[in-house]
Structure 1
Amino acid sequence: MEDSAAVAGRLWDEWLPRSVRRLVGDVLPEGEADGRRLVVWLAGIHDVGKATPAFACQVEGLAQAMRDRGLEMRSREAMGAERRLVPHGLAGQVLLGAWLEERFGFGVKQAGQFSVVVGGHHGVPPEHGQIAAVEGRSHLLWTPGRSEPLWRRVQAELLDACADVLGVRGRLGAWRAVKLPQPVQVLLTAVVIVSDWMASSPELFPYFPEDVPRSGEERLAAAWKGLDLPGPWQPTVPAGPVEELFASRFELPPGASVRPVQEAAVELARQVDEPGLMVIEAPMGEGKTEAALAVAEIFASRAGAGGVFFALPTMATGNAMFPRLLKWLDRLPVSGEGRYSVLLAHSKAALNEDFTDLMRGRRIQALDLDGDAGRAPSAAGGAGRASAELVAHAWLRGRKKSMLSSFVAGTVDQLLFAGLKSRHLALRHLALAGKVVVIDEAHAYDTYMGMYLDRVLSWLGAYRVPVVVLSATLPAGRRRELVAAYSGRTAGPDGEGGFDAIADRGDYPLLTAVAPGGTPLLRRPGASGRGTPVIVERLEDAPEAVVGRLEEELAGGGCVLVVRNTVRRVLETAVVLRERFGPERVTVAHSCFLDVDRAVNDAALLTRFGPPGEATARPEGTHIVVASQVAEQSLDVDFDLLVTDLAPVDLMLQRMGRLHRHLRGGTGQAERPARLRTARCLVTGADWTASVPRPARGSVAVYGAYALLRSAAVLMPHLDDGPERPVRMPADISRLVQVAYADTAKVPAGWETVWEEARLRHEAHRADQAERAAVFRLGAAGRPGRPLFGWVAAGVGDADDTRQGRAQVRDSRESLEVVVVRRRQDGTLATVPWLAPDRRGRPRADLPLPTDQVPAAAAARTAASCGLRLPIQFSSPEVMDRAIAELEELYVPTWQAKDSPWLAGQLILALDADCQTLLAGFGLRYSPHDGLEVTRG
């Protein structure tokens, strides 16, 4: 009890961000001083429920010693399963509530808002039914009869002693009138959980020290030194001109200046009365990421936040963002002790070399009883870190603790999990409550994910967490939903800053800011000044038509991006293009590559097609990249010509953002081939000869007919008029998105029947998504003073970043993930043979994977990096079950060893010497150039 209380005090003083301390202190009579007392006291008493027969009976020898002192109890066997109905957390909640009511005159609800912290310290606050069940089982709290008064006295002595020693006896009377908001109850619970875990660590607090027992202060000092936990970020408000701020934080190209959107975002962040939600809508390539980080620094300094969480749509975009986050951290002024905990948050982070560099740089040390924690030489996880030390702290790498790191880049799932009823949800809320949250690509989330996101935003608003939302193509209705969810208001004054204004506003770029409970503010910065008119034309869907048109367009050379909506269409198109242009002039990019190959492919795309000055190997002559949707997000690539399947209009515009993205040879684009100096987008993937355009079947399966018809409808004037009416980038972005997603979208003549059928299917699908998402979605924060009983009732249990975990917050068909290895001709297994050495020069190709012993760590890790998600053909229940059964035939017991975790529990797909195999009736073939090809067996 003493150790837990002491740890809680140190966490409050040195680890919790100022914003969290302020949120707790603001509802207590003596502010943060009361907040510290409350946290320390609750941590000290959190295990008082162990002083009950139901818990004390577990070790017979110790139980008998207690019986000898008059504390009677039945044996563990005699109590049977009934004792599990009163776990010690629930018992402690009941004991504390009764003590507050009897000794200090608390009402039941008044006591409940404090006692629920004790009841929920194992991750799930008790439900009303569990609490009611205790009433008929008082023999589990104290043995009726002559020993009952003694049990009660022991329990009261413990609570009295904590009240006296921890200095709250004189405060409880004042706290009786306090109504703790539910967000504060959550944070108190989370801090108690963290304190409990630390104090329960025998490495930090040895049970049997060999020397003379130390005082509590000495024990705490040794443990805290051994833990060596980095403190929170403590930024100061960056002053001075915006240009100086950006020059000091980011590597701007020579001659580059701050974009109007960036300048306006910084000025708005400085001007708002209170940091809140800021939605930044601006074209692709306008530097929204840099604007978000600059705003995050200002918001953090003003709000007292201790870190940043950057949420991205996919693992690939998370991996791409992580080194950018590290570079930004390198350039920040040092604050506090100058050490920051950093995390890459997704299930395959341990395979990311930037993150593993940080993990190698520093490790938690075992406690030295002589007081010397034996700190390893400090390392920064990379070259050139002259500002702060960045560490992937070992204690913060656990599945439930990792988000407590100060700076995190990861998938949006980690954010959405905060809206999922699950065990230890309080820890996720504590992790977010002390940060600034940045949400990238906000338009990319469907109704199912959107319901979770809106609920999370409502809790972030309750925690007064600053949030920055980024999008190039956000419908105005969705903008309003995000603002309303965060602010807690759905209506407000009309006009310039009202909610009606943000729903109807079509300005672009646009900044929208709102504080919790506040009224929105709008800013309309200009674009960067360079516009690109894009001529859009129809193109027949047949691959031969694409080839013929490209032969014509590429007579003088050029770099072309062809975007298909399915992997199958990507590969079919690549075949015919290679027959005509040669395999060396056609590159394939899609989602069905090994993880390690996908990373290599993305890096190669940036090297060849990235911005001028950064792309060092842009092809001369002709080159064609055939890609799926992986080309839409987070890749700063630039092409001379675009061919794309019809897609929802916001995604069409994202794809157009890869066309003439940068100036090449001045305003006339003189460095591009003469025929391609005017930006053009050829739209295929539909039968344009029909009375109503008929999208390709695969595109309908991915996006639904309604979104594709709406896209075609808004693009039709541009398709009809061609050069006379180009899509003006960025001026037309918002107009096209708002019209396409408006509730009153105009239906083209003759489309009415097909349109209405598609709309009804779309609405039914959205209603189904909303209904299913509501099953495990967290409720909204209740009124202040209402105890957190049943907060995560009927939840999902543990939520984590696994395939099953992600399926709880994403409405996607379940898919199989496998680790791909190669079976040599002699029957032995090895890593695939084409892998290049790692960044340290160590080989990775064709490393042996013996089945009779634990593989070498380097070989096992390399194999684990060859993860592959099987495509949609394997998502039906029948095919999936058959595939799993066949994959489980290759079960290697030695690969399940605890000291070799890379391959444990993985499904292994072994390709033959020609990189082919059969699985569940399908033929699989893999190559590093084309990825996975699937055919009917």
Structure 2
Amino acid sequence: MTYDGLRPIGPVGLSEAARSVWAKHDRDSDGWLPLWRHMADSAGVAGLLWDEWVPEQIRRLVAGALPGGADDARRLAVWLAATHDAGKATPAFACQVEHLADGMRAAGLPMPLEKQIADRRLAPHGLAGQLLIQRWLVERHGWSRPATTQFAVVAGGHHGVPPEDTDIRDLREHPALLCDPDGPEAWRAVQDELLDAAAEACGVASRLADWRGVKLPQPVQVLLTALVIIADWIASNPELFPYFPGERRTDPERLDTAWRMLDLPRPWVAEDTGEDPGALFASRFDLPAGARVHPVQAEAVRVARTMPRPGLMIVEAPMGEGKTEAALAAAEILAARSGAGGCFVALPTMATGNAMFPRLLAWLERLPDARAGAGAHSVFLAHSKAALNERFTELVRAGRPVSDVDRDGEEHRRSRGAAGSAAAELVAHHWLKGRKKGMLSSFAVGTIDQLLFAGLKSRHLALRHLAVAGKVVVVDEAHAYDAYMNSYLDRVLSWLGAYGVPVVVLSATLPAARRRELAESYTGGPAGPAFAPVGEADAYPLITGVAADGVVMAAPEASGRRTDVLVERFDDDLGALAARLETELAGGGCALVIRNTVRRVMETADHLREHFGADGIPVTVAHARFIDPDRAENDARLLALFGPEAKVAEAGETRPERHVVVASQVAEQSLDVDFDLLVTDLAPVDLLLQRMGRLHRHRRGEGRSQRPERLRRARCLVTGADWAARVPEPVRGSRAVYGAHALLRSAAVLEPFLAESDRPVRLPDDISPLVQRAYGPDPVGPDHWREALDHARLAHEAERADKRKRAEDFLLGGVARPGRALVGWVRAGVGDADDTYAGRAQVRDSRESLEVLVVQRRADGTLATLPWLRRDGGRELPAHAVPPTALARTVASCGMRLPYEMCADPRTLDRVIEELEAQCVEAWQAKEAHWLAGELVLALDQDQRAHLAGFDLHYTRSDGLKVSHGD
């Protein structure tokens, strides 16, 4: 690896004083690194990152801001990396290691002892470097001081937080921290000498005059800051760049050895092969024999190719239209057009993220790369429990370092092992891991939180922006987010639009007003008349392509699958429900009952089982209050029994003759299951339509001949409300979850269908009209509902305004005008954004809850894993030692969130935590117990029961966790 013929920063030509300035010190070995060497290392790494790792999409954005284009962009990136630690050439920094400071004093740089330098905390070396660079640009290159800040702030922010105005003012008022008053000229001479050397070595000395009038856009400042952070982290790794003494390699040898050891996967270079949609989908996805590309999928490909420029694409289509595959195919084309080097798919939950991960991998294994010899692509599963995902851990093993390089540059390769063909091409790279670096991988699947964190004022926010700025971003289930989360999503979209990131938004049911909000956020604000159709179109399915210079809209046909659903009011009475199900399923059939709360799921299942008896209709439950392995098996079981015929056959199962599944919202989306009859609590209309999508989802014989005769017409019974009241009254639990406004407007738009027994809801034709009416501004429902609807609307608007106001507390500002420096960019932020429950609560308006790891306490007092687990079930757990790694991992996988009722009151929550901590196994808190340290463990007795903070808990494999108040 070379410096492109430019003179490297080195000791030759530098004064003794400049050579004596130190940058790194290891207290254990007393090894150290001179500043000139770290400057050279950082510059070299930045150049290689720019050439081989930064996606073209980012390089184009930076180049577009500079008069010399691509050449200027590279020079600027390398120079900023070279100079980021200039602030270490100051008394405030150098005094920290006395014997190294003595060497600098001997070379002519006077400085007091560390204890003699008051207010040293005012001069962190990043901020000091920013001020030194600014002074150098003003005094030696004739810049105006305001023009310098937009460049120098990169040095000021390279530790994750750009400085604030008060920080800059305070340091300016203490000049002795930058130049010792006994020898200011000597210090300034060395500072200028190092900065001059960097400018010459990086080829910017001749360009600074042309850059004086540049107004650097904030997105460019952010990306350059992130690049410098990464270059600094790599160049600061002593395993890659050893400290003195003993280092004798030349600059190119040192850089080349480190780069080969790091072995960073290069970005994807997408290529639009030009295939017609049929051929494209056949080559990328596992399509059933004889399957045709859906019109929505074909149109998504066409729009991706014909949009004026890559921008925002919103795909609205009913369930079962293959929106995910459409998004990935569009992403491939948009990446080829934009220069994106990867893709991130954001989903509502960890469960949906885990389900998507293997689908993304299957797509990647078939994805072409235009770069010859592209090698492995880096992959990341972005959520807090990724380490428990088996497929991801395989890729982690594949991504461990594959070569050892000795000090003489000789390379000794190890085999990656027999991890399969996928592991040879897809790896979770050893350096690209953790909450700050993982998302920098080329391809990622994760929760929506990972995207929303890009709108949260937090430390190292620039890295999160770099992670998404080089990708195509896919946002699935866009309708699933409330006003609080949408505040973050909208702000992130405004930054993605400024970066030129292609975004694909997927939704089955999206209100037109929300569609327009998404488009306006992406393009930077309210647009002109050309954007009017975005908020007015009522076609369905609908594809909307939006860029700053125009809109493309397409209304493809839905696929041939259509379902007419008869809807019926049904009393909220468990006895009546049991009798009705017995009647409806007398000739066979499978029914799905969806409740809005887990408590109602439990009560319903208990009553139905008692009614049907042990030999009657089987009743199973599905909800979120299971430990993670059980919930995953429940989902797999639902697919094996009620999924597509091919899936049922693959699982070696047959569809039950009669069965009732009682579920919470987990059955609402992402599971491709099919039922003959649906009973559902009243819910917002978009969610009701999602639930109806589980009715007659698959063909099941010509004319539905394989369904019981009585159930060949799809029917949905809507319950969970007092329909006899003058205005329907939803049950309390539903009001707590969704609010009265959405529930009443849902009931209002469904009223014509509920009132006429033979008027069906036609899917998909009625989806968009119902959603637009329910979420639109016009009055709905009978006149005598008006007062109740108005009251609910006012409460809803107040709550929505409150959510948006609370979201503002840590919400990142919008994109400022070009030339406005990043000073104060994350002022009053949250510190580190962490993918923990508390961290996710910063971007979700979620009720506080608590996760526990569930084990069993046997009669003799010993602890064991739960007996029914497929892996390590019933294994004894040591009480005085850290469990073996595999066993500890099994325990860590058995996470479960306690219900809200146990955590709502702060005093109750404190008591829960106190009692769980009292049961803590001290040995499991050891540092080496990384799977278990810091976790709360709930130990159930032999009967799977526990008493905690006044609550009785009972967990069963069949029903999950039941909670009741104790005596």
- CA drift at 1:446: 0.3
What is the aligned partner in structure 2 of residue 341 from structure 1?
378
Aligned partner of residue 587 in structure 1, secondary structure: strand
What is the aligned partner in structure 2 of residue 733 from structure 1?
767
**Conserved? CA contact 1:350–1:356, under 8 Å:** yes
Partner AA of 1:504 in structure 2: E
**Counterpart check, 1:17 vs 2:45:** no
Deviations 1:470-518 (A, max 9, x none): 000000000000000001241312xxxx322221211100010011x22
* 1:625-640 correspondence runs (5 A): 625-640=661-676
What is the aligned partner in structure 1 of residue 158 from structure 2?
121
**Conserved? CA contact 2:271–2:369, under 8 Å:** no
Relative to the length of structure 2, the TM-score reads 0.94
**Counterpart check, 1:430 vs 2:459:** no
Aligned partner of residue 41 in structure 1, secondary structure: helix
Deviations 1:207-265 (A, max 9, x none): 1475x610111111111111111000011112121100000000001111000000011
**Conserved? CA contact 2:585–2:658, under 8 Å:** yes
**Counterpart check, 1:558 vs 2:589:** yes
**Counterpart check, 1:188 vs 2:188:** no
**Conserved? CA contact 2:648–2:655, under 8 Å:** no
Deviations 1:22-48 (A, max 9, x none): 110111112111111100010011000
Deviations 1:73-132 (A, max 9, x none): 22222225x111110000000000010111111112210010000000000000011001
* 1:710-725 correspondence runs (5 A): 710-723=745-758, 725=759
Q: Which of 453, 463, 488 is the matching residue for 2:499?
A: 463
What is the aligned partner in structure 1 of residue 563 from structure 2?
532
The 1:685/1:380 distance shift into structure 2, 3 A limit, reads farther
- CA drift at 1:335: 4.3
Aligned partner of residue 77 in structure 1, secondary structure: helix
Tell me, in whole angstroms, the C-alpha distance in 2 between the residues paired with 1:721 and 1:51.
82
What is the aligned partner in structure 2 of residue 885 from structure 1?
914
Tell me, in whole angstroms, the C-alpha distance in 1 between the residues paired with 2:873 and 2:559.
46
Deviations 1:712-741 (A, max 9, x none): 000111011022x10000000000000000
- CA drift at 1:177: 1.4
Q: Which of 408, 430, 454 is the matching residue for 2:444?
A: 408
Tell me, in whole angstroms, the C-alpha distance in 2 between the residues paired with 1:379 and 1:445.
42
- CA drift at 1:582: 4.5
What is the aligned partner in structure 2 of residue 605 from structure 1?
638
Count of residues in Structure 1 that have an aligned counterpart in Structure 2? 919
- For structure 2, list consecutive stretches of 5 or more residues without a partner in the other structure: 1-38
Tell me, in whole angstroms, the C-alpha distance in 2 between the residues paired with 1:561 and 1:372.
64
- CA drift at 1:366: 5.4
Aligned partner of residue 309 in structure 1, secondary structure: strand
Q: Which of 815, 835, 859 is the matching residue for 1:781?
A: 815
What is the aligned partner in structure 2 of residue 862 from structure 1?
890
**Conserved? CA contact 1:113–1:788, under 8 Å:** yes
Tell me, in whole angstroms, the C-alpha distance in 1 between the residues paired with 2:882 and 2:404.
27
**Conserved? CA contact 1:109–1:785, under 8 Å:** no
The 1:733/1:209 distance shift into structure 2, 3 A limit, reads farther
What is the aligned partner in structure 2 of residue 742 from structure 1?
776
Partner AA of 1:775 in structure 2: D
**Conserved? CA contact 1:379–1:389, under 8 Å:** no
Aligned partner of residue 929 in structure 1, secondary structure: coil
* 1:473-872 correspondence runs (5 A): 473-493=509-529, 498-515=530-547, 517-582=548-613, 585-616=618-649, 617-666=653-702, 668-723=703-758, 725-837=759-871, 844-872=872-900
Relative to the length of structure 1, the TM-score reads 0.97
**Conserved? CA contact 1:380–1:389, under 8 Å:** no
Aligned partner of residue 484 in structure 2, secondary structure: helix
Tell me, in whole angstroms, the C-alpha distance in 1 between the residues paired with 2:254 and 2:287.
49
Aligned partner of residue 754 in structure 1, secondary structure: helix
Partner AA of 1:607 in structure 2: A
* 1:310-349 correspondence runs (5 A): 310-336=345-371, 337-349=374-386
Aligned partner of residue 219 in structure 2, secondary structure: helix
CA-based RMSD of the aligned residues comes to 1.3
Partner AA of 1:830 in structure 2: A
**Counterpart check, 1:247 vs 2:309:** no
Deviations 1:291-312 (A, max 9, x none): 0000000000110000000000
What is the aligned partner in structure 1 of residue 132 from structure 2?
95
| Deviates further, 911-920 or 257-266 | 911-920
| Deviates further, 709-718 or 484-493 | 484-493
The 1:191/1:306 distance shift into structure 2, 3 A limit, reads same
What is the aligned partner in structure 1 of residue 33 from structure 2?
none
- CA drift at 1:538: 1.0
- CA drift at 1:373: 4.7
Partner AA of 1:595 in structure 2: D
Tell me, in whole angstroms, the C-alpha distance in 2 between the residues paired with 1:745 and 1:599.
43
What is the aligned partner in structure 1 of residue 340 from structure 2?
305
Deviations 1:510-555 (A, max 9, x none): 010011x222221010100221000001111111111111001000
Partner AA of 2:144 in structure 1: G
Partner AA of 2:240 in structure 1: L
Tell me, in whole angstroms, the C-alpha distance in 2 between the residues paired with 1:206 and 1:144.
34
Tell me, in whole angstroms, the C-alpha distance in 1 between the residues paired with 2:771 and 2:503.
23
**Counterpart check, 1:63 vs 2:101:** yes
Tell me, in whole angstroms, the C-alpha distance in 2 between the residues paired with 1:865 and 1:23.
42
Identity of matched residues, %: 63
- CA drift at 1:445: 0.4
Aligned partner of residue 662 in structure 1, secondary structure: coil
Deviations 1:274-322 (A, max 9, x none): 1100000000000000000000000001100000000000000000000
Tell me, in whole angstroms, the C-alpha distance in 2 between the residues paired with 1:429 and 1:612.
43
Q: Which of 71, 74, 77 is the matching residue for 1:33?
A: 71
* 1:915-930 correspondence runs (5 A): 915-930=944-959
- CA drift at 1:370: 3.2
**Conserved? CA contact 1:448–1:770, under 8 Å:** yes
* 1:159-198 correspondence runs (5 A): 159-198=195-234
| Deviates further, 575-584 or 896-905 | 575-584
Deviations 1:39-84 (A, max 9, x none): 001001100001111111111121222222332222222225x111
Tell me, in whole angstroms, the C-alpha distance in 1 between the residues paired with 2:645 and 2:195.
68
Deviations 1:738-761 (A, max 9, x none): 000001232422112222221111
Tell me, in whole angstroms, the C-alpha distance in 2 between the residues paired with 1:661 and 1:179.
55
What is the aligned partner in structure 1 of residue 28 from structure 2?
none
What is the aligned partner in structure 2 of residue 914 from structure 1?
943
Tell me, in whole angstroms, the C-alpha distance in 2 between the residues paired with 1:758 and 1:541.
22
Partner AA of 1:440 in structure 2: D
**Conserved? CA contact 2:277–2:298, under 8 Å:** yes
Aligned partner of residue 77 in structure 2, secondary structure: helix
Tell me, in whole angstroms, the C-alpha distance in 1 between the residues paired with 2:786 and 2:802.
24
What is the aligned partner in structure 2 of residue 420 from structure 1?
456
* 1:226-375 correspondence runs (5 A): 226-336=261-371, 337-364=374-401, 367-375=405-413
Deviations 1:532-591 (A, max 9, x none): 000001111111111111001000111111100000000111111112334681111001
Tell me, in whole angstroms, the C-alpha distance in 1 between the residues paired with 2:690 and 2:158.
46
